[in-house]
Structures are given as C-alpha cells and as structure tokens.
Amino acid sequence: MARRVELDTHSQLLKQLGMGIFKQRLPWLGGDLQTLRDTLRPVNFPLDCGEEILIDVPAMPSGAAGPGQLLALLDCPAKTQPTSGLVLLLHGLGGSSRREGLRRMALALQQAGFAVLRLNLRGADPGRHLAAGTYAAECNSDLGPVLQRARKLCQQLANDGFAAKTALPLLGAGISLGGTMLLNACLETRHAPAAGKPVLDGLVCTSSPLDLAACSASIESPRNTVYKRWLLKRLVRQTLADPAGVTPSEQQLLCGVAGQGSVASIRDFDAAITAPRWGYRDVDAYYSGASPLAALHASRTGLPPTLIVQALDDPWVPADAAQGLADQKAPSSDWLEVLMTNHGGHNGFHGRGGCWGDQLVVRWLSQFVA
C-alpha cells in the first residue's frame, strides 16, 4: 500500500505554482465521495457552444475497423482575451467530451485564456457514428492525425487574431485513461512536429493509469463492484452501437443468451474487445504493451515537461506506480514531476473554493506559454 504523503513533500512545486496543498472539504470526504461528487451533485454548466471539428483517422492497425473520423469540440476564450495556448483535452474510460469532470476542466482552462480541444475518442459519444471500432490505452494511430490537426489549429488561431503572438504552444491534459493515451503518444517520437522536439509543449495527467494490469485488478476488488458495473455498462453499450456492427463472436461474448454475456469484468472486456481489435496477442500483452510505466522509469528524453497527479485514496487507480516514479525520479529528470496527495479520489480534488485539481492543471500549463 502506498504510504501517506507528508504535507511538505511537494511544497517546492506547489509554491512554484502558487498553490497550497489539497484539502478536501465537507461533505466530500474520502476517495469515494471525491470521485462521485459530480454524479451526486451535478454541475449546471453553460450551454455547450464548442465548435465541431472532424478529424480523419486511418483504419485500425489490426484491420478491425476502417478509416473514419473523430469528433472534437473547440472552445476558445472570449474574443476580448488573448489566447495563450491550445490544450488537447482527453477523457477517460467510458467518457466523452460531455463528461462533467472534463467540461469543468475545459471551462477552467478557457477562463484562464486557453483554447481547448475536447476530443471524443473512437467509439465515444457523441461521435460514435463517425468511426467504427473502439479506443485503447495506446491508440497512437488515431492520435497522430489529431496531433497534426491540433498543430494546424495552433497556427490558425494565431492567424485568425485570437492569439497575442504568431505561434501558440500545443499542450495536453488527460483525465484518467486519457492521460495514459497522451503519455503513450508522447513516447512515440514520430508524432513530434520536428526532429528533437517533443510531441507536446507541456502535459498534465490526472489520475491516469500507468500500470494497466494493476488498475484492472483494482477495479475487480469487491469494494469497487458498483464502479465496475457502471464502467462495463457504458463500454458494452458503446461497443454494441458500433456503426459497423460487431462480429458474431463479439456479440456472443457481450450479450450471450438472453442478454447474459460472459464479459463480467474490465479484464474480460479488454480480452474480448480491446486487445484483439488493437492487434495484441492477448489481454496480458495489451496491458504490458500499453502501460507507459516502464518507459517513464527509463527516463526517456524527448518527452514534454510532464506533471502526473495521483491521490493515495483513488479507488480506481492504485497509487503504487506513481509513488514508485516519485521515489525513483532522478534530480536531472526535470521533464517529470509526480504530485501525490493524501486525498482527492479519482479525478475529484474538490476542495475549498472549487476544484483544486482544475486549478492545478491551469497553473502547470500556464508555465509553458509566453
């Protein structure tokens, strides 16, 4: 079990960002209530006025699905406010551009002067009809075209007069599995805008799985039964809504006889759907190949300045992987910061004065704009 974090462990980083240590507030005490806050008390967001942008993506490498399009929504700050950068914002497992946590983070970034590109991954609502197949923790063949389009948007936003300068930095923010995807994309240097340049100019990953096998096992624990059922219901529904349909074997696994399929866990789903669709030999090969932890331990160069945020009481993502990175981070690894908190749940971080996690994302990414 990950040890408790001392309050002054990250004082230097937080002081640099002008932030205090996270303190949970009543009544959202403990990892579960922090995680469920947006579900138990829905937020009244303004009307979603994001500009729809369609991004062409190729066929999945395994051939399980052909070419298609991903739907992204572009949010720009008020025209009276100069745009400081473009943030590519990715949702997590079972999510979409409409999810409460993602919309809240996008609004915080927008109010701070960032343009935000909220991406719906392959298979996610509301872009489900635009591309066959489903997404995975490593889906670089889809994210490559997205990153290219985002770089063009950086220039377009500058040319259209939204920006105060001629070039906008491209930044990334990933919630849960969205952070895992961005890490994997950044580890593949062919997505970089130029030789020797990082894929992104800055990155923050909140509550992101670094070890997929450990996360899958965590979701299977008895205490997480409600979470598991919720995730599986969303994943199965998204898969069955595939515009290209599902194969007879997938239909049998997902639905079986009288609606009772044999997929009873996230691991079962990944074994039946995710791993074969993305060309992995089996689910263990998928969990190993799509987990960025080993590459992060290798301290590869070429990665953008990256912040990993992890709560010790996250009921979904075990903190051990992030804690190990924090313990072994070399002083020379100035590209990586790992911020551990005692509380916050899974992408919760609801504190006094609003969402501490959203403000942390804003402060971290603001370092990389002129």
pTM: 0.93
276-294 pLDDT tens trace = 999 999 999 999 999 999 9
Tokens of 108: 């915080």
Between these two residues, 233 and 163, which has the higher pLDDT value?
233
With tokens 């916050």, the residue in question is: 344
In 3D space, the residue among 88, 78, 112, 89 whose CA is nearest the CA of residue 367 turns out to be 112
Residue 145 pLDDT > 60: yes
With tokens 């599995």, the residue in question is: 177
In this prediction, residue 158 has a pLDDT band, given cuts at 50, 70 and 90, of: confident
Q: What pLDDT is recorded for position 162?
A: 52
With tokens 């969303």, the residue in question is: 234
Domains of the chain: 11-20+29-38+48-214+293-366 (3.40.50.1820), 222-286 (no CATH)
Q: Which letter, b or e, does each residue of 212-242 get, where b requires 16 or more Cβ atoms within 10 Å of its Cβ?
A: bebbbebbeeeebeebbeebbebbbebbeeb
Q: What pLDDT is recorded for position 161?
A: 60
71-123 pLDDT tens trace = 999 999 987 788 899 999 999 999 999 999 999 999 999 999 999 999 999 99
- DSSP-assigned beta bridge partners for residue 162: none
